[in-house]
Amino acid sequence: MSKTSYLFTSESVSEGHPDKVCDRISDSIVDIYLKADPQARVAVETLATTNKVVLAGEVRGPASITHDLLKETARQAIKDIGYEQDGFHWKNADIDCYVHQQSADIAVGVDAAGNKDEGAGDQGIMFGYACRETDQLMPAPIYFSHRILKLLSEARRSGKEKGLGPDAKSQVTLLYENGKPVRATSVVVSTQHAADLDQAQVREIVRPYVKEVLPNGWMCDEDSFYVNPTGRFVVGGPDGDAGLTGRKIIVDTYGGAAPHGGGAFSGKDPTKVDRSAAYAARYLAKNVVGANLAEKCTIQLSYAIGVSKPLSVYVNTHGTGNIDEQKLVKVLGELMDLSPRGIRTHLSLNKPIYARTAAYGHFGREPEADGGFSWERLDLVADLKAAFN
């Protein structure tokens, strides 16, 4: 095969996957703090196993948010996901909370003071990416993987598919020809199910949702359509496998089609550039592609703890751009203040909008009226076109 013809695979996991349960709990805690105080600081991790949840981390926020409230927030998140199973039940799970106050050393480096602007909450590198493979300007394999599981979740929640459980995974492999996806060569879906369903029955439950997601004529052949390959998936969720916040960072972003800086998003308030700068980089890359300045765009930002401005801004249009990339770096810096405060202000990130990001990807979603997924807006397109007209 030539360099422009290849197979590429991405995976997704559902809201009931053990790691995603933990992401959801951590982000629900971020939301209750930001709802009470938009300037709250939160860095909370969650561990989940058989009927056990452990919360840990550091916060700075209202004293009214007690350990009891944090535990109840976790319980309600589990209930909403749909866990009422013997091994993991929202009502019966034992929840421990070890959340404590933020270190003063971190606060001093991050907080604004005198002539010093608010600094980044940590050092690190963050990437954003966009491409023309889907209408959402996302890589097709990860977008299709998310959509399959989202449709199955909606069918489970509505009662249409009563035999499905909350825990599920998907994996889509696409054939690329001349650098563009043309069809699926394999699809894998593993979904938790009721004990009275066999593998063949689950396969037929899953099939129409996969066919609905893939473009017409893209479905793989029958031998490459794998549903619950081990044959049985009754015990799932944290009862089947322990979960932790932040272990699905490639699922959260671009499915491996673009670089990742290494930092997780969930459980972190938007002063943490692991989260907010990754959103900003996606926002800028999406607008570059949306403005037809390139077919693909990768943007990297880097930060140092306590320093307000990014240490570097890197743009790569992968040979698909029709503009000068150095000029593009300058224009992007003029259109958006990439300091932590500037990012949060531009994208209105100090809001309780994060629990909804915890499953089915942080990118490729529709901007919402209350500010959710604001980084998916295409409101810089006109300015970018004007700058390069």
Please enumerate in sequence order all residues whose Cβ is within 8 A of that of 7, keeping only pairs 6 or more positions apart, or say none. Answer: 173, 174, 175, 176, 185
Active site residue 272: yes
Residues 156, 248, 282, 362: which is the catalytic one? 248
Residue of 45, 118, 122, 133 marked active site: 45
Q: Name the amino acid, one letter, at 291.
A: A
Q: Which residues, other chains included, contact 195 with Cβ-Cβ below 8 Å and sequence gap of 6+?
A: 234
193 assigned ligand-binding residue: no
Give the active site residue among 60, 169, 275, 282: 169
Residue 117 annotated as catalytic: no
Q: Residue 167, annotated ligand binder?
A: yes
Are 64 and 40 spatial neighbours (Cβ–Cβ below 8 Å)? no
- From the list 11, 15, 20, 140, the catalytic residue is 20
Ligand-binding site membership of 123 (annotated):
no
242 belongs to the catalytic site:
yes
Known catalytic residue at 274: yes
Please tell me whether 177 is known to bind a ligand.
Answer: no
Q: Which of 37, 52, 58, 304 is catalytic?
A: 58
> Active-site residue 211, yes or no?
no
Of residues 8, 11, 15, 19, which has the active-site annotation?
Answer: 19
324 a known binding residue?
no
- Residue in the block written with tokens 């097709």: 140
C-beta neighbour count of 173 within 10 angstroms: 18
What span, in angstroms and rounded, lies between the C-alpha atoms of 318 and 355? 33
Given the residues 37, 111, 241, 383, select the one marked as catalytic.
241
Annotated binding-site residue? 233: yes
198 is in an annotated binding site: no
17 catalytic residue (yes or no): yes
356 is in an annotated binding site: no
Token pair for residue 351? 């809001």
Q: Is 52 a catalytic residue?
A: no
Total residues belonging to the chain: 389
Q: Which of 268, 296, 346, 356 is catalytic?
A: 268
Q: Binding site annotation covers 169?
A: yes
Residue 54, beta-bridge partner list: 47, 96
Question: Of 242, 304, 325, 365, which one is the catalytic site residue?
Answer: 242
> Which of 8, 11, 15, 17 does the annotation list as catalytic?
17
Torsion angle of the four alpha carbons 195, 196, 197, 199, in this order, in degrees rounded to the nearest 10 = 70
318 annotated ligand-binding residue: no
CB 99 within 8 A of CB 70: yes
Q: Is 233 in the active site?
A: yes
Active-site residue among 118, 274, 295, 376?
274
Q: Is 241 annotated as a binding residue?
A: yes
User: 193, 240, 245: which is closest to 46 by C-alpha?
Assistant: 245
What is the rounded CA–CA span in Å between residue 250 and residue 139?
12
Is 168 part of any known ligand binding site?
yes
Place of tokens 């259109």: 335
**Is 376 an annotated catalytic residue?**
no
Alpha carbon distance 77, 270 (integer Å)? 21
Q: Which of 181, 189, 200 is nearest to 147 (CA)?
A: 189
Q: Is 35 annotated as a binding residue?
A: no
Question: Do the annotations mark residue 264 as ligand-binding?
Answer: yes
241 is catalytic: yes
Q: Which two tokens stand for residue 87?
A: 């091994």
> Which entry of 60, 146, 156, 272 is annotated as an active-site residue?
272
**Binding-site sequence positions for L-methionine:** 58, 102, 241, 272
Which residue numbers are catalytic?
17, 19-20, 45, 58, 169, 233, 241-242, 247-248, 268, 272, 274
Binding-site residues: 17, 19, 45, 58, 102, 167-169, 232-233, 241, 247-248, 264, 268, 272
In the annotated binding site for Mg(2+), the residues are 19
Residues making up the annotated binding site for K(+) are: 45
